[in-house]
Structure formats: C-alpha cells, structure tokens
Chain A
Amino acid sequence: MQLYGTEIGSRLMLGTAQYPSPAVLAEAFRRSGAGIATVSVRREAGGERAGAAFWDLVRDLGVTVLPNTAGCHSVREAVTTAHMARELFDTPWIKLEVIGHADTLQPDPFGLVDAARILDEDGFQVFPYTTEDAVLADRLLSAGCEVLMPWGAPIGTGLGLTNIYGLRTLRAQFPDVPMVVDAGLGLPSQAAMAMEMGFDAVLLNTAVSKAGDPAAMAEGFARAVEAGRLAYEADPMEPRDMAAPSTPVIGKAFLT
C-alpha cells in the first residue's frame, strides 16, 4: 500500500494514546506489526520540548510516525499544530483533525477543507479525518489531499461502521483514492468488514489501548485486517437467495 508515495507494509495503523504504559504500547505494536503510529502533538505540547521523552518512545517503535492535530477545534489551531509536528517529527505528513463538536468530536467539514488547503499549499501531505460524506471528500481532494480518512463512528465509541451505505458509496465514488477507516472501531470483526468493503487500511486507538490486554487485542485487529484484505482481493461471491449445495445431491429431488 502506498500513501503519498511511501510504501507501508501493514494495513493496520495504531494510535499511541491512553495505553497503561509505554511498555504496553510497544508490545501492542510488536505483536500487531502495525505499520504506522499516530501521535498527538497538541495535548503533550507544553511549549519547548516538554513531551520529548514520550515522542522519543514513539520514534523508538521503529514504524512510520503520522503526527495528528487531535483536539484542535479551529483552522488556526490545527495549522499551528501541524507546523509544530513537522518540526518535531521531521515529516510532511499530518493527520488533520478539526473538531466541530466537543461531545461527539465529529469533524468540522468547513474548517477541515480550509485547513487542508492551507497545509497543502505549505507543502504538507494531509491525511484528513473526515466523515463518510462524498461531497466533502471531493472538496478535500480538490484541496490537495491524496488520502482520505473517513470515520467508522465517532472517536472512542467502538460502535463500528455506523453508516455502511455511506462508506460503500464513498469507496465506489473514489475507487483510486487510498482510504483509511479511522475512528469508532471497537472489534476486529468491524475492521475486517471495513477491509472487505475495499478500504485500504484501518486506524484505531481506544479499542486497543483500553482493552484489558492491549497487545492481544492489537494482534486480533492485525489478523482481522489481514483476513478482510485477503477476502477483498479474493473477489468474494455475491449473496444469493437460492441455497446452492457445493456437492451435487445425486438421487434426490432437488428442483422442488
């Protein structure tokens, strides 16, 4: 899978927040083989390099780091945070979050497009955290985004894919755009479903970090992502109404 020209080995991405400890976080990455770690810059940033120790631990995971603008509620905040992230992690990649509602943490679609345009012009490679809205997706692509990250459900809810029709439509409308289902997943089966639908990867955090055994849950997700991708590539059968025995039932009246 290529994202902005970079080959990524795993279709599972993990967030780095809310684990019981950095050691458990590292074990979750080791067991899952996740290829990308997202890291929040804003919350830890107490000016200067106050969060440096934790960022070093994230760098030490040995995977590609995708910094994010989690918790930003305005275009200006998000853009400032993106610049800070570029300096800290020496990467043009930014997962862009512009939050529109404090309780549901749903994206602010208008601020998102504005911020994406500004950051694209500044040379960033933007991964926008967006809804499944296809019109919004089109605007984000026009703003320069080459990857989209539609939500499965609001952040941290674990509800799974709440609008399957919308996600299917989005996937169908932009078949060549790499898309990562981001947020709202609670179980590996939901990740498998997203992959079966043809999404290129999934990103999750809470489902792993808040599990009783985060490393085991991370591995569970990794296997589900692999299973879902294999199924997608294998061109699954279409559902049909008539039962079709796979071996002929000789001597029985079957055309009843």
Chain B
Amino acid sequence: MRATVLGAGVAGLCVATELVARGCEVTVFDPSPRPGPHGCSWWAGGMLAPFCEGETAEEPVVRLGQEAADWWERQGVNVERRGTVVVTLGRDRNELDRFARRVQGHERLDAAALAALEPDLSGRFDRALHVPGEAYLDPRAALEHLRDRLEHSGATFVAEPGPTTGVTFDCRGLAARDALRDLRGVKGEMAVLRSADIHLTRPVRLLHPRFPLYVVPRPGGLFMLGATQIESDDRRRSVRSVLELLSAAYALHPAFGEAELVEIGADARPAFPDNLPRLVRRGETIHVNGLFRHGFLLAPALARMAAEAACDGTRPELYHEDHD
C-alpha cells in the first residue's frame, strides 16, 4: 500500500513508523527538512506519565498512554523508566491528597523514602508520591531518531506536497484547522535551565493551586520546566508565564536560582473540545490530530490505531467518520 503523511511532528513520524512497519510505501510531506522549533513537538516535556495525567485527563489517556514507553523503546529510543515523583509545598499539602485520590498506581513516600529516591530533594519535603510505572524520554532526540530511522527504512521526505496516491494521513496539528473546525490551540510555555548544582533522576511534579510545575531532567545537566496551559493560539512567551515557571522551580529547589537560563519556548497545542485526540476519516484522508498535551504519550497508540484502520479496515475508538 502507498501512503502519504502530512506533517513530520510527533504524530506524523509515529504514523509513518507504524505504516512502514506494515510494509507501506510512505511519503512524508513537511516544509521543514528536520525536526525543529517550528513544530509543537519540539517544545514537549517528553514525560510518559499516563497515571499522573489521569488527574485531569479522561480515561483513554491513562489506558492508551500505557503503550507509549514500550513503543518508544521498540523504536530504539532511550526511555528512562524511573517513575515520577510528586511533591507539594508545605501549605498546599491538601493538593497531594487530592492528587493521590485521583491518580492510580502511586505509592506514598515519607521524607526518608523520598531522600532515597531523589537525594537532592532530601530535607525539602516531608512527604511525596511516587508513580513507579511512568517513564520519560528526550523528545528532540526521539524525533530525530524516528526521522533518521524512517529514512533508512525507505520512507521519502519531501518539502512540497505533490500528487498523492493511496490513503493520506493528515498529521499537521493546528495547521489542519482549515479542515477540522473544532480544533483549537492551547498555549504551553516552557523553559530549559542548566545547573551542575542539582541532580534529579526522574521527572518531578510540583503541585500548586495556581502555578503547577514539572521538571524533566535531560542529558548534560539540563532541566526542562513546563508548562503553562493557556486557552490561546498565541505563541509569544510572556513574562508572567516565565516568572511563574521560574518561581515555581526556585520553590522546588533554591539551586535553580543559580541555574543558567538556556531556553524559553512556547507553542500552541492542537486540541478538540474534549481534549481527547481523534482519528477523523474523510474519504481517503485520515486526520490524526488533537493530541493536546499528550503528544509523545498518545502518538504511539493513535499511530497504531490509524494504521490498523487504513490497513485492516478496523474502526478503533476515538475514530470518527466525517462526511462534510
């Protein structure tokens, strides 16, 4: 089967990977030659945290997200399976109980257990949660890896859309808003810090009623701080948001006050009104879109479902036939 994939963000690269694995001849259209800051996926945190996301996300996110760590590992991406640590500042300790009520698969930590897991947080929090079944990856390295792997296995990457044959998989994210009218942008802002004074070995979430934060360690002493969630398709990085992220990081550990500010980024995530992703079939086109803040977490499952729908004629969940 021949197939065309529009867009080489995380959704498009995962779909292309699933199609190539099924023996399809795949052409990927993307105006940019390589993964980079033009795409929403570039700014992702790379947490594979289906259980923590279940705090607010619907059930399919928790269930389908559990496929992600294995999928990425099968592609040869380095996946760190060290779980997630969740902490809160003293006066917000009720937040930890609320989070624990809503998140499955966690265990409670006292100060000593937290110190054993993350020594650099020792003495700062008298209790915490650990969600052992979660993982994380370096999203930029993962995009590069998928891109190279696809090219080696015979997929073609072209910048200009040409004539298409077979099924088209539209994975353009927000750029597909011309075709998907109820798609909207939800802005996320992030920062990258470098510090040699603090060492974390897994993602840490700081619960806060106003300024929730997650910190994801990356190679080279880097830490990704994320992420705001603002109903806007604006891509500016606002002072207020950066202040909030940095203040929250400083509250998590004062060593971040001395860190080097390496990068500040922002982009708009594509989302449908229920914040769940969709496969929308229109004739010979299947849209894979609306991954919201769950790109790296849900793209593997969505890619598998999209490929199954096209190759095997299945009607997976989150699948919508659309005739307008």
Evaluate contact between B232 and A51: CB separation under 8 angstroms.
Answer: yes
B210 proximal to A (CB < 8 A): yes
Could you tell me if A20 and B57 are in contact, using CB atoms closer than 8 angstroms?
yes
**A23, B232: Cβ atoms closer than 8 Å:** no
B275 at the interface (CB under 8 A from A): yes
**Considering the complex, which residues of chain B in the window 216-242 have a beta carbon less than 8 Å from any beta carbon of chain A?**
230-236, 238
Query: Judging by beta carbons under 8 Å apart, are B230 and A44 in contact?
Result: yes
Number of interface residues of A (CB under 8 A): 19
On whether the beta carbons of B275 and A20 are closer than 8 Å, the reply is yes
B232 adjacent to A54 (CB under 8 Å): yes
Q: Which residue, of B232, B238, B275, B276, has the highest number of chain A Cβ atoms within 10 A?
A: B232
User: What is the bound-complex CA distance between A26 and B273, given in angstroms?
Assistant: 9
B275 x A21 contact (CB < 8 A): yes
Please classify the interface of chain B as helix (H, G, I), strand (E, B), loop, or mixed, using the class held by over half of its residues: loop
A41-93 at interface with B (beta carbon < 8 Å): 43-48, 50-51, 53-54, 57
With a cutoff of 8 Å between Cβ atoms, the chain A residues found around residue B210 in the complex are: 156
Across-interface contacts of B56 in A (CB, < 8 A): 20
* Minimal Cβ-Cβ distance residue in A for B174: A53
B163 contacts the other chain (CB 8 A) = no
Q: Which residues of B contact A44 (CB under 8 A)?
A: 230-232
A22 to B276, CA, bound (A): 11
Q: A212 at interface (Cβ–Cβ under 8 A)?
A: yes
Contact with A along B98-134 (1 / 0, CB 8 A): 0001100000000000000000000000000000000
Are B236 and A47 neighbours in the complex by a CB distance under 8 Å?
A: yes
From A23, A43, A50, contact of B275 by CB (8 A): A23
Contacting residues, chain A, for B231 (C-beta < 8 A): 44, 51, 53-54
Q: Which of B56, B210, B231 has the most CB of A within 10 A?
A: B231
B90 within 8 A of A: no
Given contacts A54-B184, A156-B209, contact A21 B234 (CB under 8 A): no
Q: Does B185 contact A (CB under 8 A)?
A: yes
* Residue in B184, B236, B271, B274 whose beta carbon sits within 8 Å of that of A46 in the complex: B236
- Residues of chain B with a CB closer than 8 A to A54's CB: 184, 231-232
By a CB distance below 8 angstroms, the chain B residues around A46 are 187, 230, 232-236, 238
A24 to B274, CA, bound (A): 7
What residues of chain B lie closer than 8 Å to A23, measured between beta carbons? 273-275
CB contacts under 8 Å to A, within B248-278, are 271, 273-276
How does the 8 Å CB contact mask read for B182-225 relative to A, with 1 for contact and 0 for none?
A: 00110100000000000000000000011000000000000000
Q: Mark A148-163, 1 if CB is under 8 A from B, else 0.
A: 0000000010000000
Main secondary structure of the interface of A (DSSP, over half): loop
| B274–A53 CB distance below 8 A | no
Per-residue contact bits, chain A 84-116, to B (CB 8 Å; 1 contact, 0 not): 000000000000000000000000000000000
Contacts of B275 in A (CB 8 A): 20-23
Q: Which of B57, B58, B273 has the most CB atoms of chain A within a 10 A radius of its CB?
A: B273
Q: How far, in whole Å, are A48 and B235 apart by their CA atoms in the complex?
A: 12
Scan residues 14-32 of chain A and give those whose CB is less than 8 A from a CB of chain B.
20-24, 26
Q: How far is the CA of A43 from the CA of B185 in the complex (A)?
A: 14
Most buried by A among B102, B187, B230: B230
Q: How far is the CA of A22 from the CA of B210 in the complex (A)?
A: 19
Nearest chain B residue, comparing its CB with the CB of A105:
B210
Let me know if A21 and B274 touch, CB within 8 A: yes
Q: Mark B53-67, 1 if CB is under 8 A from A, else 0.
A: 000111000000000
Inter-chain contacts of B235 with A (CB < 8 A): 46
Q: Are A53 and B233 in contact (CB under 8 A)?
A: yes
In the complex, the answer to whether A21 meets B230 with C-beta atoms within 8 Å is no
Minimum distance in angstroms from A105 CB to a CB of chain B: 9
In the complex with contacts A46-B236, A47-B236, A53-B185 CB distance below 8 A: yes
- Alpha-carbon separation in the docked complex, A20 to B230 (Å): 12
What 8 pairs across the A-B complex have the smallest Cβ distances?
A: A46-B234, A53-B184, A50-B234, A54-B231, A21-B275, A23-B274, A50-B232, A20-B56
26 interchain pairs (CB within 8 A)?
Answer: A20-B56, A20-B57, A20-B275, A21-B58, A21-B273, A21-B276, A22-B273, A22-B274, A23-B274, A23-B275, A26-B273, A43-B230, A46-B187, A46-B230, A46-B233, A46-B235, A47-B234, A47-B236, A48-B234, A50-B185, A50-B187, A50-B232, A51-B231, A53-B185, A54-B232, A212-B101
B residues contacting A by CB (< 8 A) are: 56-58, 101-102, 184-185, 187, 209-210, 230-236, 238, 271, 273-276
9 further interface pairs, Cβ-Cβ under 8 Å (given A46-B233, A212-B101, A212-B102): A20-B57, A20-B275, A21-B274, A21-B275, A22-B273, A46-B234, A47-B236, A48-B234, A54-B232
